[in-house]
Amino acid sequence: MIVLGINSSHCATACVLINGKIVACISEERLTRIKNQSGLPVNAVKEVLNEAKLKANDIDSVAFSFEDMAINTGYSVLDAGEKDSWRLSNPLFPLVWKIKEWMLAKIPSSRNAYIFLQEVFYKNFMFPKMKEGLLSTFEKKTGISKEKVMFVDHHTAHAYTAYYGSSEYWKDKKLILTLDAMGDGVCATVSIGENEKVKRIATTSFGNSIGDLYAYVTRYLGMKMGEHEYKVMGLAPYASQKYVDKVYEKIKDWVWVNENDLTFSTVVFSHVFYKLLDKPFKNERFDNISGAIQKLTEEIITKWVSVAVKKTGIKDIVAAGGVFMNVKANQKIVDLPQIKNLFVFPSCGDESTSIGAAYYAYRQIQANNKLPRIQPIEGLYLGPEFNEKEIGKELAKRKYKKYKVDKYKDMEKEIAKMISQRKIVARFAGRMEWGARALGNRSILTHPQNLEGVREINEQIKSRDFWMPFAPSVLSEFMSTYVVNPKRVEGPYMILAYDTTKVGAEKLRAAIHQYDLSARPQEVKKEFSPRYHKLISEFEKLTGIGAVLNTSFNLHGYPIVCTPQDALFVFENSGLQYLALENYLVSKM
């Protein structure tokens, strides 16, 4: 059975699942070069079909990861923009919107009426026409019959990624948690996974999300909500705890956990949290604000997890949803004494729900038709790759004649040698990674003790904010040497943070957080990425360090590179001196 999974929301994505295995997955942004592009991912659909060597009529089922037709047609759930002009076409809309926002902020009880009226209006007046238009457009642009399309509840899609994406999910009970800003009228769920089935036991309605609050604080601090929350998280450790606590005291009662039913509540409808921020944050420093929202997030989430574990008795947790992109909060979950293990689905924002929707569609057929069970996610190298002939043809173009081009039989060994000399090398090799993290195939690499290189990468290559930490790619065999991990929780996808050991803090000095010395490592497994594992092994032979500094291969504000042309664009428009394109090494002379 072949399923096409689609997310048309934030960071629109398409994937292909064949007989229980995800064989291709790519986000639209990688092809259009527009960061976090939303809307129907037509280019991504064509690319995953090409990667899987399929034609449109080979698809048995298509699964969208939202039932909300506004979001499926490109409406931004994170912040209004030009693409949401359909909302603004009526001249009365701004006034109605302003009144609605005022009521939600000033009269908390108005939220129930708002939710009811919105549901009635959308489902009866807007969604039918939107659905008809979406299906017609989908069929016309992809060549796949609209009769094959189904729409999957958003948080069900998140839950399915967490459960079916986890290792050996069929063996033991799993406590499944989802948490984001919103999706299909919900912002959080608790489910139990057992015997290859998922049963939801708790649901928090939208408008009660810690994710909304974190996003609005991000915007308050002058950054882009829905994209730069990781910058707030990275800034938080620099703040003095004394002043963090002062700000925290002002906002600590804005979100709470209802222990009886495992839900969240908020002091106001969480979509209008932005109206409350001026009072508590006035005259407070940006780092103290960052520290306070991070502390609140960690405390709320760990409280929720603790209560859920106590109520269900299940200590093996799997999780998904955009809020779980917060690696420091994930670390706090792992540190809870009652937790046995934590698996967070990689890149668990909306982009991952294309996979969850595909899992759901497959399960509806698989359970009764003796098809293979769903295979847990492995490796994430699910995008396109380019052979030497294609790369050589591109490099032969006249505009690249100004660069020195060498070819090596063993490029991994050559890169290891270069970064052992503290050179900075961009690596483009094999299939592109899917998701927000670069996992070695579209990465910029250097020596993990190269503090001088940190400034060079920040200022001359990526224009990153100075406080943002890099990440180490660590050989699996060296994880226990470099990070504190008594529960042996695996970390192959840069979705968990760990404290470093004394040795790790020394050996990985440039690749960890410069203030609290924590790391967000990629645990490199030979079975997932043999060539990258070999590169780091060669580096270890030269230096005695089983890790390298890894950051994504892109310019600031752009998606990670996808094609050789993208890689050469970054090379030409940055301070990069070395670019390894498969076995070609391009150098600026």
Helices 286-312 and 327-335 cross at an angle (nearest 10°) of 40
Q: CA-CA distance, 313 to 340, in Å (whole number)?
A: 11
**What CA–CA distance (Å, rounded) separates 340 from 316?**
5
Q: Output the CA torsion 46→48→53→58 (10° steps).
A: -70
User: 95 or 403: whose pLDDT is higher?
Assistant: 403
What is the percent of the chain where pLDDT is above 70? 97
Mean pLDDT of the chain: 94
For residue 44, the model assigns a pLDDT of: 98
β-bridge partners, 403? 588
Quick one: 496 and 582 in the same domain?
A: yes
Transcribe 527-554 into DSSP letters: TT-HHHHHHHHHHHHHHS--EEEEEESS
472 contacts 549 by C-beta, under 8 angstroms: yes
Q: What is the mean pLDDT of residues 388-401?
A: 95
In a domain, 349, yes or no: no
Across 225-263, b (16+ Cβ under 10 Å) vs e yields bbbbbbbbbbbbbbbeeebbeebbeebeebbbbeeeebb
Residue where the block lists tokens 């306070």? 292
> What does each C-alpha distance from 59 to 1, 5, 313 come to in angstroms?
8, 10, 41
Least confident range from 49-63, 121-135, 237-251, 555-569: namely: 121-135
Query: For residue 114, what pLDDT is reported?
Result: 87
| Same-domain status, 195 and 150 | no
Residue 490's pLDDT band (cuts 50, 70, 90) = very high
In a domain, 434, yes or no: yes
Residue type at 578? Y
Quote the pLDDT of residue 81: 42
Question: Which residues are paired to 344 by β-bridges?
Answer: 319
Residue 259 forms part of a structural domain: yes
Do 588 and 401 form a contact (C-beta atoms < 8 A)? no
pLDDT for the residue numbered 87: 53
The answer to the question of residue 25 being in a domain is: yes
Kindly tell me if the per-residue pLDDT of 573 is higher than 90.
Answer: yes
Let me know whether 211 and 141 are in one domain. no
Q: Which residues pair with 142 in a beta bridge?
A: none
- Report if residue 572 sits inside a domain: yes
Distances from the Cα of 548 to the Cα of 269, 439, 444, 482, 561, angstroms: 44, 12, 10, 12, 20
Q: If you average pLDDT over residues 521-538, what whole number do you get?
A: 97
Judgement on whether residues 221 and 332 belong to the same structural domain of the protein: yes
359/329 same-domain check: no
Query: Over the stretch 358-380, which tens digit does the pLDDT of each residue have?
Result: 999 999 998 778 899 999 999 99
463 versus 134: the higher-pLDDT residue is 134
Interhelix angle 42-51/127-142, rounded to 10 degrees, is: 40
Domain co-membership, 294 together with 402: no
Residue 233 scores a pLDDT above 60 = yes
Residues 131 and 179 in one domain: no
Q: Identify the band that residue 64 occupies on the pLDDT scale cut at 50, 70 and 90.
A: very high
**Same domain as 340, residue 358:** no
Task: Give yes or no for residue 84 having a pLDDT over 60.
Answer: no
Choose among 298, 319, 29, 72: nearest CA to 183.
Answer: 72
On whether the CB atoms of residues 104 and 269 are closer than 8 A, the answer is yes
> Under a CB-based contact definition with an 8 Å cutoff, are residues 83 and 70 in contact?
no
Angle between helices 564-572 and 388-395 (to 10 degrees): 40
Tell me the residue length of the chain: 589
Q: How many domains does the chain have?
A: 3
Nearest C-alpha neighbor of 583 from the set 445, 395, 384: 395
Can you give the CATH number for the domain in which 301 is found?
Answer: 3.30.420.40
Q: Decide if pLDDT at 8 tops 70.
A: yes
pLDDT-based confidence at residue 101 (cuts at 50, 70, 90): confident
What CA–CA distance (Å, rounded) separates 466 from 287?
Answer: 13
Q: Mean pLDDT, to the nearest integer, of 529-549? A: 98
pLDDT at 86: 47
Answer with the one of 288, 310, 344 that is the final residue of a domain.
Answer: 344
Q: How confident is the model at residue 30 (pLDDT cuts 50, 70, 90)?
A: very high
pLDDT score, position 78: 52
Other CB atoms within a 10 A radius of the CB of residue 209 amount to: 28
Mean pLDDT to the nearest integer, 87-102: 74
Domain ranges, residue 427: 388-588
For residue 90, pLDDT over 70 is answered with no
Residues 69 and 137 in one domain: yes
CATH number for the domain harbouring residue 446: 3.90.870.20
Q: What distance in Å separates the CA atoms of residue 293 and residue 383, rounded to the nearest whole number?
A: 35
Average pLDDT over residues 454-478: 92
- pLDDT tens profile 292-343: 999 999 999 999 999 999 999 999 999 999 999 999 999 999 999 999 999 9
Average pLDDT, integer, range 490-519: 97
d(CA 65, CA 7): 5
Q: Using 50, 70 and 90 to split pLDDT, how confident is the model at 463? A: confident
| Torsion (CA) 260, 262, 268, 272 in degrees, nearest 10 | -170
**Residues 190-230: pLDDT tens digits?**
999 999 999 999 999 999 999 999 999 999 999 999 999 99
What is the model's pLDDT at position 80? 44
Is the Cβ–Cβ distance between 481 and 501 less than 8 Å? yes
Q: What is the pTM of this model?
A: 0.95
* The predicted structure's pLDDT at residue 567: 98
Residue 75 has what pLDDT?
Answer: 62
Point out which residues pair with 199 in neighbouring strands. Answer: 192
Contact yes or no for 316/175 (Cβ under 8 A)? yes
- Secondary structure of residue 298 in the 3-state scheme: helix
- 524 inside domain: yes
Mean pLDDT on 33-43: 96
Instruction: Convert the pLDDT of each residue in 282-306 to its tens digit.
Output: 999 999 999 999 999 999 999 999 9
With a cut of 70, say whether residue 85 has pLDDT above it.
no
Q: Label residue 344 exposed, middle or buried (CB < 10 Å: 0-12, 13-18, 19+).
A: buried
Strand order in the sheet with 186-194: 197-205, 186-194, 174-183, 316-320, 341-344
